[in-house]
Amino acid sequence: MLIEEISPSQLERVVRENKIVLIEYVSKEKRESRYFHSLIKDFSFKVLNQIKIVLINLDKHPEVKERENIVFLPHLKLYLNGENIWEQEGCFMDYTKDMFILRRSIREALKSKGLKIKI
């Protein structure tokens, strides 16, 4: 699978060892989170070998919600060289809009840091 589930204790290492990391915080209890996870699976095929995508399951690790200040799901964080450069909370529940916004906003966040990738 292109998306690796990690534990909170692995997060720092993953961010440190990979140039670009997208973290998806998920909960199987939330409909929006389940929907967006399927969108992230599709997105992962567009960014093969460019962005490391990992997920943290909030059902298994509820303490992460407070520590990472997660209010709404879906919740994403993008790291470049260990720096959090972008976050997204929530979605439209419209596949076309959500994929467009995800691709465009990640591309623009990376571009603002001098990195151009085709997504």
Distance (Å) of CA 63 to CA 4, 41, 56? 20, 25, 11
Using one digit for the tens of pLDDT, what is the confidence trace for 40-94? 999 999 998 899 999 999 999 999 999 999 999 999 999 999 999 999 999 999 9
In this structure, the number of other CB atoms found within 10 A of the CB of residue 11 comes to 18
| Residue 8 binned pLDDT confidence (cut-offs 50, 70, 90) | very high
- pLDDT of the residue at 7: 96
Give the pLDDT confidence score for residue 48 in this predicted structure.
87
What percent of the chain has a predicted confidence (pLDDT) above 90? 95
CATH class of 3-111: alpha beta
Neighbours of 62 (CB within 10 A): 10
- Lookup: tokens for 89: 């909370």
Question: Mean per-residue pLDDT for 93-117?
Answer: 97
Token pair for 119:
């997504």
**Domain ranges, ordered by start, for the chain:** 3-111
